[in-house]
């Protein structure tokens, strides 16, 4: 019987030390687990701070997890955006006061969508958080997963700057909660009317924010996202609607459905909406680019609508918010199999190299030195049966 050589025993001992070390380095540590628990604890704390920019919290904040408590009339809209909790608080400083209402959502997509839903075209843009609007009495802004509505008793030139301090005190997003929506980046900037962008991920928000198409035609059941905006073209004011679907195949199906809807004036389908009824028939055009379906309406001329649609391009390398290119499921499976095959090949190559270096290489080295393939002490360890006797 052949016993392991000293070199082979050394190799086994090395493996016993390497693999536990690798396992320890890849396994989640207790510290990371405690940090995750701490993040969850922070998320469950108060939504608004005790103080900011010298303003001091007075009284007990009103807290709720029911969207109806935040906005009874549009509770269904808040649910579509992923509403999680609400808090309202009053602050005072030097005889002044400010009432702050904050809503938190499951992710930044919901907070941005709610911001566009509550923002009005007559509001002025401000630089607070990720986006803000001001109407002379109140300031609306969103930061991460939180939407804030602040109303000062007496507005001063420093009020906006003080709200920037409040934005830094809001809870920070955890993980991919802070990923920003990418669909608005596809809106062409040329002649875009400021403060008219509306972003919806559900039928209620889309219809109540002035959606042009019937919600069933958009088909939010297929995970559609919609962004609309007004454009001031030379030949008339129009509306551009961009719908994002999970796959180009779904987008192609909806493109044909919308084209048929326009061609038949909605007969036998969803009712013709008032926005379409007041549109120039030549402005009702549709164009698809990848998983995006773009629709024009309003008072565009045929040439103006076509020019606006041609500016909508789906690009797989768009990096506004780490948007990844669409990859079909079949391609994902094939890529996974290929990666597994490559990994198996790498391990096989390592095993071959290790075998040659520990076995054949050792034998070749001894023969080059004029010695036997096995050391003398190992050759004596073979049990020989003399069958000739």
Rounded to 5 degrees, φ, ψ at 268 are: 75, 5
Question: Does any domain span residue 143?
Answer: yes
Q: pLDDT tens across 139-196, in order?
A: 999 999 999 999 998 877 788 889 999 999 999 999 999 999 999 999 999 999 999 9
Domain encompassing residue 101: 46-178
Same domain? 279 vs 340:
no
Sign of CA dihedral 237, 228, 76, 134: negative
Is residue 285 domain-shared with residue 209, that is, in the same domain?
A: yes
Q: pLDDT (tens digit, 9 = 90+) per residue, 100-123?
A: 999 999 999 999 999 999 999 899
What is the pLDDT, as a whole number, of residue 378?
Answer: 52
Considering the domain architecture, whether residues 171 and 239 belong to the same structural domain is answered as no
Residues 273 and 370 both lie in one domain: no
The tens digit of pLDDT for each residue in 34-57 reads: 434 433 433 347 999 999 999 999
- The arrangement of strands across the sheet holding 131-134 comes to 51-52, 55-64, 83-93, 96-105, 146-152, 138-143, 131-134, 124-126
The reply to whether 4 falls in a domain is: no
Q: Catalogue the long-range contacts made by 203-211 (C-beta closer than 8 Å, 24 or more residues apart).
A: 203/80, 204/74, 204/76, 204/77, 204/80, 205/77, 205/80, 205/81, 205/113, 205/117, 208/74, 208/77, 208/117, 209/116, 209/117, 210/275, 211/241, 211/273, 211/275
229 compared with 320, residue with greater pLDDT = 229
Residue 15 included in any domain: no
Asked if residue 153 and residue 278 are part of one domain, the reply reads no
Q: Let me know whether 193 and 151 are in one domain.
A: no
Here the CATH number for the domain that contains residue 259 is 3.40.1000
> What's the number of domains the chain is made of?
3
**pTM score of the predicted model:** 0.70
User: Is there a domain that residue 26 lies in?
Assistant: no
Q: Would you state the pLDDT for residue 266?
A: 81
Report pLDDT for 156: 79
- Residue 13, domain member (yes or no): no
Among the three residues 151, 178, 205, which one is the final residue of a domain in this structure? 178
For residue 305, is it within any domain?
Answer: yes
Same domain, 346 and 225: no
Give the residue with greater pLDDT, 374 vs 300.
300
Q: Does residue 309 form part of some domain?
A: yes
Please report whether residue 353 resides in a domain: yes
- Residues 309, 345 within the same domain: no
Q: How large a percentage of the chain has pLDDT more than 70?
A: 77
């Amino acid at each position: 019987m052949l016993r392991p050589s000293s070199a082979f025993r050394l190799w086994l001992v090395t493996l016993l030390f390497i693999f536990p070390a690798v396992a320890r380095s890849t396994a989640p540590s207790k510290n990371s687990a405690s940090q995750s628990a701490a993040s969850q604890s922070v998320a469950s704390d108060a939504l608004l701070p005790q103080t900011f920019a010298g303003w001091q919290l007075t009284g007990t904040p009103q807290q709720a997890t029911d969207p109806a408590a935040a906005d009874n009339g549009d509770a269904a809209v808040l649910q579509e955006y992923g509403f999680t909790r609400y808090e309202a608080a009053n602050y005072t400083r030097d005889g002044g006061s400010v009432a702050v209402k904050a809503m938190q959502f499951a992710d930044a997509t919901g907070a941005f969508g709610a911001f566009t839903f509550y923002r009005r075209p007559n509001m002025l843009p401000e630089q607070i958080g990720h986006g803000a609007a001001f109407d002379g009495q109140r300031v609306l802004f969103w930061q991460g997963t939180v939407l804030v509505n602040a109303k000062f008793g007496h507005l001063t030139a420093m009020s906006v700057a003080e709200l920037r301090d409040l934005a830094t005190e809001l809870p920070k997003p955890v993980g991919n909660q802070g990923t920003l929506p990418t669909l608005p980046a596809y809106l062409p900037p040329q002649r875009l009317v400021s403060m008219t962008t509306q972003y919806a991920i559900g039928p209620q928000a889309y219809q109540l924010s002035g959606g042009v198409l019937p919600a069933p035609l958009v088909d939010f059941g297929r995970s559609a996202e919609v962004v609309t905006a007004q454009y001031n073209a030379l030949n008339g004011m129009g509306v551009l609607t961009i719908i994002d679907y999970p796959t180009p195949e779904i987008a192609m199906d909806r493109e044909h459905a919308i084209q048929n809807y326009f061609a038949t004036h909605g007969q036998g389908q969803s009712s013709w909406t008032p926005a379409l009824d007041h549109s120039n028939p030549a402005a009702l055009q549709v164009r698809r680019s990848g998983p995006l379906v773009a629709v024009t309406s309003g008072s565009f001329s045929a040439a103006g609508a076509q020019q606006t649609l041609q500016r909508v391009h789906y690009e797989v390398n768009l990096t506004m918010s780490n948007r990844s290119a669409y990859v079909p499921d079949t391609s994902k499976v094939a890529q996974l199999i290929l990666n597994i095959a490559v990994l198996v090949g790498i391990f096989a190559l390592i095993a071959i190299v290790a075998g040659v270096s520990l076995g054949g290489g050792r034998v070749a080295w001894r023969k080059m030195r004029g010695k036997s393939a096995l050391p003398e002490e190992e050759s004596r360890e073979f049990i020989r049966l003399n069958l000739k006797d």
